[in-house]
Structure 1
Amino acid sequence: MDALQYAIGFLIFFLLILVSIGLHEFGHLIPAKRFGGKVTQYFIGFGPTVWSKQIGETEYGLKAIPLGGYVKIVGMLPPEATVLADEITYDAEGRQVTRVRKSNTGMFTQLISDARAAEWELVKPEDTDRLFYKMSWWKKVVVMAGGPSVNILIAFFLFSAVFATYGNGQDQQTTTTIAEVQGCIVPAEESGRVCTEEEILEQPTPAYQAGLEAGDRIVSFNGVEAESWEQVQQLIRDNGDGRAAIVVERDDRLLTIETKTTVTPRIIDEDADPEPVGFLGVAPRTYAPTGGPLYTLEQMGGMTVDVVKALATLPVKVFDVAQAVVGLEERDPEGPISIVGGGRLAGEVAAHDESTVTDKVVFFTGMLAGFNFFIGMFNFLPLLPLDGGHIASALWEALRRGLARLRGRPDPGYVDAAKLLPVAYVVASAMLVMGVVLIVGDLVVPVHLES
């Protein structure tokens, strides 16, 4: 493996993920500013500031730990309901001074109070009409949905580019054209193994004996017109050890080949033992289907179902990774990986000598699209501190205000997201733990391209 190519692949993938994160945050920043909100910070990363530049009222910059990003929108949390607008005063520097109680009973109550205090330290008298919590509910939804929507749009355009040119390699379609004629009959569990010359002489497949060739297109099997490979495969299996008349198209000519299928155990169901069925010894030619925007939307619809299922089992999958780290089980190659794991796979692809440049570009593009799609879907979860949690709060605000109007009752006011901060702290802690476990797993028991 070429170490330089590996490093370049890893770095390119990592930088592209950072670009995606930056675009995600722009998805919040642009509508927030458009709706009159005050955005004081736009940062990629967390931790100590590496670089920043003040442009207008917003500070743009990079942090030392490039594993995320954020924009600071002033007024995310409302003041306590007991503090009325005309009771709010400001100090000489324009900071609000009567917004929260200074002493609270209970850990979570104190946490909420402290968070509210930190939030309002940035609020100045001229910001009163620019606070996020005062925005219309639909504006809050647009601002908070902007970030993950950008990720999903990035995924859409990347998938569209791949599907329209290279094709969808994850949706391989089979044809009735023969791609390979197997020389000998091998056990089902050894499927794909290359036959030795001795095995071909001693136990040739019916297809090899009959003279079928790669490139032959099966037109009919025992008089039944071949409409799909799945149909032909079922006809072969149902034929047992009976005689078979196979019409194939070869070099624009139709040939009828007489042979006899044999019975051998084959894997019909991945979760069941091999079953004895009719066997011919041919493999079909496959292709990656291409398509435009509508095809991409259709495929992403299926991906959405898969992502939702993956999110539902994510804690269990991460626990499995933790067990793999301590050697209690093998790492699942289909399990979750972190950005570090993605970078390692990208590095392996870049350094893979047998892959063409096109294959490498397609792999990079597909993996970047997959990461963006997952990040977008994950952020739509209706849990604070995720974007979906703020969206859910805004929708709940709209619903209860609408119901109050219909019932002729007083306006219940803004939803106080601060009351959900204990949930946000738990979710954030869980996310941090899962992220650390995945990163450690990708360093200790990484998923490899060969897996």
Structure 2
Amino acid sequence: MTVLLFILGVLLVAVGIAASIALHEVGHLVPAKLFKVRVTQYMVGFGKTIWSRRRGETEYGFKAIPLGGYVSMIGMYPPAKDQAGQAGSVRRSSTGMFQQLAEDARSAAAEQLRPGDENRVFYKLPVWKRIIIMLGGPFMNLVIGTVLLGVVLVGFGTAQPTATVSEVYKCVVPASQQARTGQQDCLPSDPVAPATAAGIRPGDKIVSFGGRPVTDWYELTGWIREAAGRKTTVVIERNGTTITTTITPIRSERPVLNAENQPVLDAAGKPVTEQAGFVGMGPTTALVPEPGSAVLPAVGENLQSIAGVVLNLPQRVADVAQAAFSDEPRDPNGPISVVGVGRIAGEISAMEEVPLQARIASLIGLVGSLNLALCVFNLIPLLPLDGGHVAGALWEAIRRRAARLLRRPDPGPVDIAKLLPLTYVVAALLMGMGALLIYADIVKPVNIFG
């Protein structure tokens, strides 16, 4: 059963990724057709075509390698300029390999032109229209990611601690000692945990503490930390019966918590501790729906985290390579491949001890986060990524604006065909990075579940 659930999780996320790729390309296709650019192909995948059908002037289909997609528009490369600086036919001579690459690309693009296409080529569009077309794909991923995270937060909720006890510790181990020695079992010298001494059991619901009703576990934790050494009345509910007992939180070394109830770390990355009350019990968690107003801040935090990874991508990839070929562990917050995403999806699906609702929410959230990652990654201002085309269009606008201000001739469209050598280098680096991440996800997978 576990194996079948693992496979099901992988398949579900694979379908989600394929749908995300297809919709990303729709984000380019729709504005391109709206602006009357002739689109010759809409393809999901690369390599050999396994199915296609022509509708109107566009061929729609799927290719064998489902690791991306593309929309083919005519006129991506403007014609070369002759020696007089006017747009003309492609030159027949070449002074080097790079020039020949550009001319070959222009020739291939020119072969797609048909009578009547003169005003339907991409490069003749106003800059703002070209930017809309190229941003359509990342924008679609942003919309998908926002909707899916909204479904998770509002429809399912986030895992939050409840007032019901999940575990009761037998003894009290200082936080620094536990971090230093990794001690998990009780020693004869360790004091008995106050929750155990008070008779609290897993499954008990804490109704009140010191006469104050308990509605929030974090609030209860704050009361316990403040009540060190003081005998306090606790009301619990067990199997429908109300029980009153007393508990005396012991003063122990505990981590300092921030406003988000997360441990505060020092400059060395170690938890900061303080003396505070402790009783030795942990809460159960449950999915609590969030309000709609929580969606956009959550998306913003996700985008900020992804942008941090992208901005430090060379170092992150180097760290992955070092971990893959050594005994060092992988950074769980580093980049992963589709293989790693599939593995995580399978592990989530196979966790039979986790409620089905929580697993479904996690899978939806995984696809949503992946869409946000695709959005940010595609905005990198390098060809062949969408951000590279946007950067080229913006540079053209700046050049033409400067020429008008300086009363100089219009420099014409930016010839991105001249950047093909750089494009090939970037594409090769992306393929190499993908191969490295796939290898690392096989031999040294990310462990996010402990």
1-side partners of 2:440 and 2:222: how far apart? 43
Conserved 8 A contact 2:81-2:87: no
Q: What is the percentage of aligned positions where both structures have the same residue?
A: 41
Q: From 162, 171, 181, give the equivalent of 1:184.
A: 171
Equivalent in the alignment of 2:270: 272
Report how far residue 369 of structure 1 moved.
Answer: 0.8
Report how far residue 141 of structure 1 moved.
Answer: 1.1
1-side partners of 2:287 and 2:226: how far apart? 28
Superposed CA RMSD: 3.6
2-side partners of 1:143 and 1:120: how far apart? 21
Report how far residue 442 of structure 1 moved.
Answer: 1.8
Using the TM superposition, name which of 412-421 and 300-309 deviates more.
Answer: 412-421
Q: Does 1:395 align with 2:382?
A: no
Using the TM superposition, name which of 368-377 and 42-51 deviates more.
Answer: 42-51
- Which amino acid in 2 is paired with 1:119? A
Report how far residue 366 of structure 1 moved.
Answer: 1.0
Q: Does 1:141 align with 2:131?
A: yes
Distance change in 2, residues 1:396/1:257 (3 Å):
farther
Equivalent in the alignment of 1:104: 95
Report how far residue 375 of structure 1 moved.
Answer: 0.6
How many pairs were matched up?
A: 433
1-side partners of 2:164 and 2:359: how far apart? 28
- Which amino acid in 2 is paired with 1:203? P
Q: From 203, 207, 214, give the equivalent of 2:191.
A: 203
Using the TM superposition, name which of 393-402 and 32-41 deviates more.
Answer: 393-402
TM-score by length of 1: 0.82
Conserved 8 A contact 1:219-1:249: no
Equivalent in the alignment of 1:95: none
Conserved 8 A contact 1:104-1:113: no
Match of 2:333, SS state, is: coil
Equivalent in the alignment of 1:132: 122
Conserved 8 A contact 2:207-2:214: no
Distance change in 2, residues 1:349/1:229 (3 Å):
closer
Distance change in 2, residues 1:87/1:335 (3 Å):
closer
Report how far residue 159 of structure 1 moved.
Answer: 1.1
Using the TM superposition, name which of 242-251 and 338-347 deviates more.
Answer: 242-251
2-side partners of 1:250 and 1:348: how far apart? 35
Using the TM superposition, name which of 345-354 and 360-369 deviates more.
Answer: 345-354
* Deviations 1:111-136 (CA, angstroms, capped at 9, x unpaired): 33333333223223421111101001
- Which amino acid in 2 is paired with 1:164? V
1-side partners of 2:292 and 2:409: how far apart? 47
Equivalent in the alignment of 1:40: 40
2-side partners of 1:85 and 1:162: how far apart? 56
- Which amino acid in 1 is paired with 2:192? P
Match of 2:10, SS state, is: helix
Conserved 8 A contact 2:302-2:369: no
Match of 2:374, SS state, is: helix
Distance change in 2, residues 1:202/1:146 (3 Å):
closer
2-side partners of 1:347 and 1:259: how far apart? 43
Equivalent in the alignment of 1:27: 27
2-side partners of 1:132 and 1:84: how far apart? 24
2-side partners of 1:243 and 1:230: how far apart? 19
Q: From 239, 243, 248, give the equivalent of 2:230.
A: 243
Conserved 8 A contact 1:163-1:290: yes
Q: Does 1:424 align with 2:423?
A: yes
Report how far residue 361 of structure 1 moved.
Answer: 1.6
Q: How does 1:243-392 map to 2 (within 5 A)?
A: 243=230, 245=232, 260-268=248-256, 269-270=264-265, 271-272=269-270, 275=273, 277-278=275-276, 279-283=278-282, 288-392=287-391
Report how far residue 389 of structure 1 moved.
Answer: 1.3
- Which amino acid in 1 is paired with 2:315? V
2-side partners of 1:237 and 1:329: how far apart? 37
Report how far residue 323 of structure 1 moved.
Answer: 2.4
2-side partners of 1:375 and 1:31: how far apart? 19
2-side partners of 1:9 and 1:253: how far apart? 41
